Amino acid sequence: MKRNHGGNIYSIERELGIPAGELADFSVNLNPLGTPGAVKNMIIENLNEIMLYPDPEYIECRESIAAYHSVPMEYITAGNGATELIFLYCRVTRPVKALIAAPAFSEYARALEAVGSEIVYFELKEENDFKADIDSLTSEIQNGYGLVVICNPNNPAGTLLNRDDILALSASAPDGCRILVDESFIEFAPQGPEALTVLDADMPRNIYVLRSLTKIFSMPGLRLGYGAGSDHELNRMLAEQKEPWSINVFASKSAAILLSDLNYLHETRRVISEEKFFLSDNLKNIPWLKIYSSSVNYMLLKIQNGMTSSELESELLKRKIMIRNASNFMFLDNTFIRIAVKDRRSNILLLEALKGVALEFCL
């Protein structure tokens, strides 16, 4: 699978000469509200701490995360974004055979390949809007897997499994089968994460949950993520094998600020719900785009006019719009794209650019 992610504005600047600041970037699923001002102020006020090593155990950071979820601090491993923890988790658990519900984030496969795991993909069917059939998945996990990977909400489709489904999957898993649940985008769900997450004090020992603060708080240049699980031996091994000082001092300090800002989270969900409705309602007027229902801040679209996702990506770049060509996701072909839900001004720019493409090519 080709390695490719959204957000590579610097590559576009080098190759096409379009200044990064002039691009409307729909290829990354970041919060349109931007980084909270309190985090920016914290960095300015603590600049002198750039001369200090971070706490290698990240106690204050982990305490803040644990308090947010009402779990013991020992459940929490902090990381330089969720991606570091994907690789760390696979390096520690080293499953002989792993199942990935796909299409999904490509770094799961890369992390498993790095430790020599055999990878099998469980296809999320297009006819089911890429939502997992729990009965089929429950049946499949009986076939000798050491790890099952579920992205919930799914990336790129934005579909959600409910909490009870994942807990039932956990209960049906054979001995020795772990379940890795990536909840990196769950804070964007309109109902909030509380009714959806499996991250709590009573979580089963065979479940490990990943979270990202990078996406919901729009800080990919700072990066902070965490994992949570109730298996004390696994948590000990994760702590032992984690690289030291992988989280910078500002990212570490940001956890307490971010997770206490409930107004920001509530406003985020309001804005995303409003803008997603606006965007999807207008996209319905473009007959050559099929929209798949999404629960979060991005949407998967299918081009149905003979144009490829690569061609549409290129045409929109001419109009200074970046989208995510989704053709490198497992089970998706060169007719799929993913777009983020952004602010109203940006969303209008995207809609106008799509109309411009339609006019130019008589679509």
- Tell me the C-alpha distance between 84 and 261, whole Å: 25
- Tell me the C-alpha distance between 204 and 3, whole Å: 33
Q: Are residues 13 and 89 in the same domain?
A: no
The model carries a pTM of 0.95
Longest CA–CA separation in the chain, Å: 61
Per-residue pLDDT band for 321 (boundaries 50, 70, 90) equals very high
Q: What is the pLDDT of residue 9?
A: 73
Q: Which of 236, 260, 284 is the last residue of a domain?
A: 260
CATH of residue 340's domain is: 3.90.1150.10
CATH of residue 199's domain is: 3.40.640.10
Q: Which domain holds residue 157?
A: 37-260
Between strands 207-212 and 225-229, the pairing is: antiparallel
Q: Which of 260, 294, 321 is the last residue of a domain?
A: 260
Task: State the average pLDDT for the chain.
Answer: 96
pLDDT tens across 165-208, in order?
Answer: 999 999 999 999 999 999 999 999 999 999 899 999 999 999 99
Q: What is the pLDDT of residue 1?
A: 47
Q: What is the mean pLDDT of residues 311-330?
A: 97
Find the helix or strand (DSSP H, E) in which 181 lies. Answer: strand 178-182
pLDDT tens across 59-73, in order?
Answer: 999 999 999 999 999
pLDDT tens across 41-58, in order?
Answer: 999 999 999 999 999 999
Is 215 within a domain? yes
Q: Residue 305: left (phi > 0), alpha (psi -120 to 50), or beta?
A: alpha
The amino acid that residue 20 corresponds to is A
The amino acid that residue 270 corresponds to is R
Q: Please name which of 222, 226, 228 lies closest in space to residue 254, comparing C-alpha atoms.
A: 222
Q: What is the mean pLDDT of residues 155-171?
A: 97
Query: Which token pair is 8?
Result: 């590579």
Per-residue pLDDT band for 91 (boundaries 50, 70, 90) equals very high
Is residue 336 classed as helix, strand or coil in its secondary structure?
strand
- Tell me the C-alpha distance between 194 and 188, whole Å: 12
Q: Residue 159: left (phi > 0), alpha (psi -120 to 50), or beta?
A: beta
Q: What is the pLDDT of residue 363?
A: 66
Which residue is it, tokens 């996990």? 141
- Tell me the C-alpha distance between 32 and 215, whole Å: 10
200 exposure class (CB count in 10 Å sphere: 0-12, 13-18, 19+): middle
Total structural domains within the chain: 2
Q: What is the mean pLDDT of residues 121-150?
A: 98
Q: What is the pLDDT of residue 330?
A: 98
298, β-bridge pairs: 340
Is 352 within a domain? yes
